[in-house]
């Protein structure tokens, strides 16, 4: 009987060790600074990755402390990660205003007030098994509103403008989100020269459909002293986004 108990303890310990080896995790830490090198408290740090083993999708957001520091633990090792750094006065407030308008909800006066808009910093990386810890810092810079780099218009096939629609410019290490106005027009300012994927994330009508249709994506090159023109046609009735080249 003692041998059986001992064997069970050994087997249990072995299984526990195997599980610990299967789910090896690491930690992400770092600081978020503004354009002057000062810490940004309350900045959003968003981490997302997809893996074949459970949990298949790891999606977490944390906020920096007053010193601009953040920490994300329990991150899988040797798995490609997608990391974003967002200034507290940029994307979220603009998203709330645009979404409220799209749904016909009232917009709070404090949300309407202009605040400096910052370009989101993007990182593609992974925590190596040999390190188990990765330090990633980010410096957030405000959008230069004097430099218009792209503009466009989004409408339905029936020529109805789409207001409050999200338009995302994704570069190698930057991410800029803008929204269409009441006439379906949008503008992007201050992006560095380079090649970007311009994405129209799904709006509410598309999200309720099964299966979810593919997102509209177009690749463009931002050039110096040149404004890129982008017009999109979205078939709202079918939920299948289409683009006009």
pLDDT tens for each residue of 222-244? 999 999 999 998 876 433 334 44
* d(C-alpha 181, C-alpha 178), whole Å: 10
pLDDT at 4 over 60: no
- The predicted model gives 139-144 an average pLDDT of 90
For 27-142, CATH number? Answer: 2.60.40.1120
Identify the CA nearest to 113 among candidates 95, 97, 92, 91.
Answer: 97
- pTM, two decimals, is 0.73
For 188, the 3-state DSSP assignment is strand
Taking only the tens place, the pLDDT of each residue in 97-139 is: 766 766 677 877 776 665 567 889 999 999 998 889 999 999 9
145-245: same fold as 27-142? yes
pLDDT at 33 over 80: yes
CATH superfamily of 145-245: Transthyretin/hydroxyisourate hydrolase domain (2.60.40.180)
Q: What is the pLDDT of residue 114?
A: 53
* d(C-alpha 144, C-alpha 223), whole Å: 15
Identify the CA nearest to 32 among candidates 121, 93, 92, 116.
Answer: 121
Q: What is the pLDDT of residue 237?
A: 43
Peptide bond just before 53 cis, omega within 30 deg: no
* d(C-alpha 188, C-alpha 167), whole Å: 9
Q: Which of 18-32, 202-216, 218-232 has the highest mean pLDDT?
A: 218-232
Domain boundaries, the chain: 27-142, 145-245
pLDDT at 95 over 80: no
Q: Would you place residue 23 in the very low, low, confident or very high pLDDT band (cuts 50, 70, 90)? A: low
pLDDT at 79 over 50: yes
């Amino acid at each position: 009987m003692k041998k059986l108990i001992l064997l069970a303890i050994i087997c249990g310990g072995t299984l526990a060790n195997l599980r610990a080896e299967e789910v090896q995790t690491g930690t992400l830490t770092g600081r978020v600074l503004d354009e002057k090198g000062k810490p940004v408290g309350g900045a959003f740090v968003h981490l997302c990755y997809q893996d074949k083993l459970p949990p298949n999708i790891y999606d977490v957001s944390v906020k920096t402390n007053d010193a601009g520091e953040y920490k994300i633990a329990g991150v899988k090792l040797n798995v490609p990660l997608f990391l974003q750094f967002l200034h507290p006065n940029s994307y979220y407030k603009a998203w709330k205003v645009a979404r409220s308008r799209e749904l016909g909800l009232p917009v709070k006066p404090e949300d309407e007030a202009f605040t400096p808009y910052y370009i989101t910093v993007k990182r593609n990386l992974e925590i190596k098994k040999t390190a188990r810890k990765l330090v990633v810092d980010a410096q957030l810079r405000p959008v230069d509103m004097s430099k218009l780099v792209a503009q466009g218009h989004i409408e339905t096939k029936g020529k109805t403008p789409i207001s409050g629609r999200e338009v995302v410019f994704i570069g190698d290490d930057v991410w800029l989100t803008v929204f269409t106005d009441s006439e379906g027009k949008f503008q992007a300012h201050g992006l560095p020269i380079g090649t970007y994927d311009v994405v129209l994330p799904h709006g509410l009508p598309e999200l309720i459909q099964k299966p979810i249709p593919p997102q509209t994506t177009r690749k463009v090159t931002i050039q110096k002293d040149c404004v890129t023109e982008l017009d999109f046609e979205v078939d709202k009735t079918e939920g299948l986004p289409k683009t006009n080249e």
